[in-house]
Amino acid sequence: MSEFHQEVTPLNRVVKEPSLTGGYIEYEDFDCSCDVLSSLLYTLFQQNWHQVGVGHIVQGGVLELEFPAAPKICILYDGYLTVVTESWHLHLCIEANLGGPHCKTPLELRKQRQVSRAAFYRRFNAEGIPRSWGIDFWNGASENLMTIFLPNPYVEGENLLPEGKPNLAKLELYEELRDIYVLGKKPIPFHTNPLKHPYISVCTSTRCLPSRKWQPIFDSLKAAVEKAGLDIEVRTSGCLEVCKLGPVVFYSEDKTWYTRVSPEVAENIVNEHLVQGKKIIEHYYPPVSKT
Ligand code: FES
């Protein structure tokens, strides 16, 4: 695993795009490597979900979603960050998407899907006064992927505050994150990538029958991980892209898939693979040739 750097190197790239209504939008680009994006997105979605919105803006349409509560899931799998709330979910590709155990995603598509540009923005009105703050992401084809809306001092709930009476304290999150991620004036507040804490997961989806029997596998993994005293999260997940030979289990640290996992095999996976580093070849997926 590559070393985690707490210092973000500033790109010093500022782009101003005039708007047809007289104002302009100012973008300040920042490093969009996986560790940097993971740290920022974890801070936003897991720790400040109550302050931010997420959506998409194009001429003629705006989608803006708020978090009704802390996300139920915030996980990195095969390059995609997945965030699941009670009522909606999102995916954002922040690392190469290999395409599951068979690495099916062609190189060109991997590049196209992954965030290739990220920038903090401020929208200025015709008088040159900033009126909204956020973060934009683009993929490898320069298409806008997603916008994160940061707290706006001119807005309270659905209401615009009276002119001349903004609540400037609401800019605190923007200033803090800009200092870390754009200007590199403060370190990232994590010592490791917060989205790469190791986990072992069992698929609960139905296509890889008999994955409906996931609960005994989950229980066995959990008991074995606890017994071994490992700092590894045991979790369930949706489809793990095998879709046969279930129950299917995935270990995030070295991207290993296992199929036909029984409770006994689950225990062996923990004791032999996670503890001793020896993979269980008989259950490894894709199958390993014996010749
Ligand atoms: S449905 Fe379980 S791996 Fe796809």
- Indicate which atom in ligand 1 lies nearest the CA of residue 207: 1
The predicted-structure confidence for 238-248, as pLDDT tens digits, reads as follows 899 999 999 99
For 15, residues 6+ apart whose C-beta sits below 8 A from its C-beta are 26, 27, 29, 119
Q: Count the domains in the chain.
A: 2
Q: Are residues 166 and 216 in the same domain?
A: no
Average pLDDT over residues 198-216: 87
Choose which residue among 212, 242, 249, 256 to substitute to test ligand 1 binding: the one with the highest number of ligand atoms within 8 A of its C-beta: 242
Q: Are residues 22 and 157 in the same domain?
A: yes
Q: Are residues 27 and 113 in the same domain?
A: yes
Please check whether residue 258 lies inside any domain of the structure.
Answer: yes
- Please name the residue that has the structure tokens 């225990």: 267
Q: Are residues 28 and 164 in the same domain?
A: yes
Are 30 and 182 in contact, with CB atoms under 8 Å apart?
yes
Tell which of 123, 150, 181 closes a domain: 181
Are 220 and 261 in contact, with CB atoms under 8 Å apart?
no
Q: Are residues 150 and 281 in the same domain?
A: no
pLDDT band at residue 235 using 50, 70 and 90 as cut-offs? very high
Choose which residue among 240, 259, 283, 285 to substitute to test ligand 1 binding: the one with the highest number of ligand atoms within 8 A of its C-beta: 240
Task: Report how far ligand 1's centroid is from the alpha carbon of 44 (Å).
Answer: 30
Q: Are residues 26 and 150 in the same domain?
A: yes
**Cα-Cα-Cα-Cα dihedral sign, residues 36, 37, 41, 42:** negative
Q: Are residues 165 and 261 in the same domain?
A: no
The predicted-structure confidence for 43-63, as pLDDT tens digits, reads as follows 999 999 999 999 999 989 999
Average pLDDT over residues 104-108: 97
Q: Are residues 174 and 253 in the same domain?
A: no
* pLDDT of amino acid 255: 94
Length of the chain, in residues: 291
- Indicate which atom in ligand 1 lies nearest the CA of residue 246: 2
Average pLDDT over residues 19-24: 91
Please check whether residue 1 lies inside any domain of the structure.
Answer: no
Please check whether residue 194 lies inside any domain of the structure.
Answer: no
Q: Provide Rg for the chain, Cα atoms.
A: 22
Q: Are residues 31 and 101 in the same domain?
A: yes
pLDDT band at residue 290 using 50, 70 and 90 as cut-offs? low
Query: Edge to edge, what strands does the sheet with 53-58 contain?
Result: 14-18, 24-30, 117-124, 130-138, 144-149, 53-58, 61-66
Q: What percent of the chain has pLDDT over 70?
A: 97
Residue 260's CATH number? 3.40.30.10
pLDDT greater than 70 at residue 291: no
Task: Report how far ligand 1's centroid is from the alpha carbon of 77 (Å).
Answer: 14
Q: What mean pLDDT value characterizes the chain?
A: 94
Are 244 and 208 in contact, with CB atoms under 8 Å apart?
yes
List all residues whose CB is within 6 A of at least one atom of ligand 1.
203, 205, 207-208, 211, 239-243, 246, 248
Please check whether residue 80 lies inside any domain of the structure.
Answer: yes
What's the domain range around 163?
14-181
Q: Are residues 255 and 125 in the same domain?
A: no
Which three-class secondary structure string do you get for 98-130?
Answer: CCHHHCCCCHHHHHHHCCCEEEEEEEECCCCCE
Please check whether residue 125 lies inside any domain of the structure.
Answer: yes
Task: Report how far ligand 1's centroid is from the alpha carbon of 138 (Å).
Answer: 29
What 3-state class would DSSP assign to 265?
A: helix
Please check whether residue 22 lies inside any domain of the structure.
Answer: yes
What whole-number distance in Å separates Cα of residue 235 and Cα of residue 50? Answer: 25
Residue 123's CATH number? 3.40.1570.20
Average pLDDT over residues 195-201: 96
What whole-number distance in Å separates Cα of residue 36 and Cα of residue 27? Answer: 18
Please check whether residue 193 lies inside any domain of the structure.
Answer: no
* pLDDT of amino acid 1: 58
Q: Are residues 125 and 217 in the same domain?
A: no
Peptide bond into 101 cis (omega under 30): no
pLDDT greater than 90 at residue 147: yes
pTM: 0.92
Q: How many helices (H) and strands (E) does the chain have?
A: 5, 17
Choose which residue among 236, 243, 259, 261 to substitute to test ligand 1 binding: the one with the highest number of ligand atoms within 8 A of its C-beta: 243
Average pLDDT over residues 259-283: 96
Token code pair at residue 191? 């010592």
Task: List, in sequence order, every beta strand (DSSP E) within the chain.
Answer: 14-18, 24-30, 53-58, 61-66, 73-77, 80-84, 89-93, 117-124, 130-138, 144-149, 155-156, 159-160, 199-203, 233-237, 249-251, 256-258, 284-285
Q: Are residues 114 and 170 in the same domain?
A: yes
